[in-house]
Copies of this chain bind each other. A is one copy, B any other.
């Protein structure tokens, strides 16, 4: 069985000391194994990134951007190869994997604008013969620690922007899905990125802890679950680093009585069951405003959930593949058991789904729970599976109050035709990303991604304008070129007062 290693200093590095199997979720069998980096390996990676930093920092922003222009070309040319790796290790279906890659490429496109977004601000005549301006130099070595659910996109939320800003980068992807990162790394080298500027270390907590504590790593971007996000934020900041740590979610879709139900139902189907619900922006709760809406929604959702096209993601035209691992599938199944116990109505039960010819695959059918209440754990916890809960409320105010009482505040959406409802909802709700008739309000690449409350730890969000500020350090010059005589010492604090 092949062992996937790391990508350090411009080349693949084998490393077989500690390894772990990587499964194909559709078949349930291990496809290959992945190396788990030792502290020493991470150390060597940091050293490579540190060595590569001065020359990369000194490379003109335009020239950095041109490598990303080339990278975009190569990603498009090699898209199927990346997608194949995603499907084989994560299990999501072909078109979905293409979707995530496309979204990652959008960040590369945005990062091509480095000469524009790295501009500083120039203040003329801030004092006699004095001008002042800001610059945004890079931090140095920065790291990204990314989850299993978007093997390509989430890393690509981070490194294109970090590289465009002049940093060198170490990616620690999920050990469940190591292949995509390695391909992304190779294509960067092919695009002309110098060795050491982008590196991949596969590993587990040992690698993570080294990245969090080594003083040469200046910043850490993380996406994963909330407990780990909190650990990353606390540990990284305690070691003097910048950290942005994105955590869990429980995204509510509010359906108003005036909504176009056909569109709302279709939108919810895709957002709830796409990628088996293993998305931090997945809709996991539908909030029906009024029982009539609730009843009608459930009536329409039921047959659609029952008829989801589920299969091996290598096929075309499917809706849903397997879950990522056996233990995760079991955990999700446990939540369905729990929901039934807690008193939710099990409208569609996906527990017994079996795919012919893939009986060891980590499959589960789509599940729909109605009459879910806020005190149930199936409401409170992030399940991260194909399980949609329907909650009923009486009006918009109650819907907003419900959402605001939840621990998480990542994404949410409302379905309505009414401008005033949309404005009131988007204004009041304590959630970072709000959709209006848009079920997955993932900000486009020129905006920034981030949730509120316990869905994000840190000040600055992923990609877009926030990423520029996260991956750079402000430097402010105050300059006086005077053509004047001698001036007196000024002991008072200087001002324009």
Q: Is the CB of A106 within 8 A of B469?
A: no
When C-beta atoms are compared, the residue in chain B nearest to A475 turns out to be B432
CB of A292 within 8 Å of the partner chain: no
CB of A1 within 8 Å of the partner chain: no
CB of A134 within 8 Å of the partner chain: yes
Say whether, besides A132-B444, A240-B457, A102 and B491 are in contact (CB < 8 Å): no
Taking CB atoms and an 8 Å cut-off, the chain A residues in 410-452 that contact chain B are 416-420, 422-424, 426, 431-438, 440-450, 452
Q: Is the CB of B124 within 8 A of A121?
A: no
CB of A478 within 8 Å of the partner chain: yes
Q: Is the CB of B110 within 8 A of A446?
A: no
Q: Is the CB of B240 within 8 A of A238?
A: no
CB of A489 within 8 Å of the partner chain: yes
CB of A274 within 8 Å of the partner chain: yes
Q: Is the CB of A122 within 8 A of B124?
A: no
When C-beta atoms are compared, the residue in chain B nearest to A105 turns out to be B497
CB-defined contacts of A243 to chain B, threshold 8 Å:
237
What distance in Å separates the Cβ of A289 from its nearest Cβ neighbour in chain B? Answer: 15
When C-beta atoms are compared, the residue in chain B nearest to A423 turns out to be B481
Q: Indicate which residue in B126, B320, B492 contacts A444 across the interface (CB closer than 8 Å).
A: B126
What distance in Å separates the Cβ of A87 from its nearest Cβ neighbour in chain B? Answer: 12
What distance in Å separates the Cβ of A73 from its nearest Cβ neighbour in chain B? Answer: 6
What distance in Å separates the Cβ of A309 from its nearest Cβ neighbour in chain B? Answer: 9
Q: Is the CB of A489 within 8 A of B304?
A: yes
CB of A487 within 8 Å of the partner chain: yes
Q: Is the CB of B234 within 8 A of A60?
A: no
CB-defined contacts of A318 to chain B, threshold 8 Å:
491
What distance in Å separates the Cβ of A406 from its nearest Cβ neighbour in chain B? Answer: 16
- Interface segment among A91-99, A186-194, A376-384: the answer is A91-99
Bound Cα distance A113, B238 (Å): 35
CB-defined contacts of A58 to chain B, threshold 8 Å:
125
- Interface segment among A9-17, A37-45, A61-69: the answer is A61-69
Q: Is the CB of B434 within 8 A of A266?
A: no
What distance in Å separates the Cβ of A348 from its nearest Cβ neighbour in chain B? Answer: 15
Bound Cα distance A423, B153 (Å): 31
**Chain B proximity mask over A243-284: 1 for CB below 8 Å, otherwise 0:** 100000000000000001011011101100111000100000
Most B CB contacts (10 A, CB to CB) among A440, A450, A473, A474 go to A474
Q: Is the CB of B122 within 8 A of A266?
A: no
CB of A22 within 8 Å of the partner chain: no
CB of A496 within 8 Å of the partner chain: yes
Bound Cα distance A490, B131 (Å): 32
What distance in Å separates the Cβ of A229 from its nearest Cβ neighbour in chain B? Answer: 10
**Chain B proximity mask over A119-131: 1 for CB below 8 Å, otherwise 0:** 1111111110111
Say whether, besides A434-B478, A447-B121, A473 and B495 are in contact (CB < 8 Å): no
CB-defined contacts of A432 to chain B, threshold 8 Å:
473-476
CB-defined contacts of A133 to chain B, threshold 8 Å:
122, 133, 447
Bound Cα distance A47, B280 (Å): 33
What distance in Å separates the Cβ of A245 from its nearest Cβ neighbour in chain B? Answer: 10
Bound Cα distance A481, B488 (Å): 30
Q: Indicate which residue in B117, B275, B419 contacts A436 across the interface (CB closer than 8 Å).
A: B419
CB-defined contacts of A159 to chain B, threshold 8 Å:
none
Bound Cα distance A276, B153 (Å): 51
Q: Indicate which residue in B103, B115, B447, B493 contacts A99 across the interface (CB closer than 8 Å).
A: B493
Taking CB atoms and an 8 Å cut-off, the chain A residues in 385-423 that contact chain B are 416-420, 422-423
CB-defined contacts of A131 to chain B, threshold 8 Å:
423
Q: List 10 A-B contacts (CB under 8 A).
A: A60-B125, A98-B497, A110-B116, A115-B445, A122-B134, A134-B448, A237-B457, A270-B490, A417-B418, A420-B483
A-B interface, 4 closest residue pairs, ranked by CB to CB distance from nearest: A102-B497, A99-B493, A102-B495, A120-B122
A residues with a Cβ closer than 8 A to B are 58, 60-63, 65-66, 69, 72-73, 93, 95-96, 98-103, 105-106, 109-110, 112-113, 115-127, 129-135, 153, 230, 233-234, 237-238, 240, 242-243, 260, 262-263, 265-267, 269-270, 273-275, 279, 304, 318-320, 416-420, 422-424, 426, 431-438, 440-450, 452, 454, 457-461, 465-466, 469-470, 473-483, 486-497
> Given A112-B112, A433-B475, A450-B474, 7 more contacts at CB 8 Å?
A113-B113, A116-B117, A116-B446, A123-B444, A260-B486, A418-B418, A419-B436
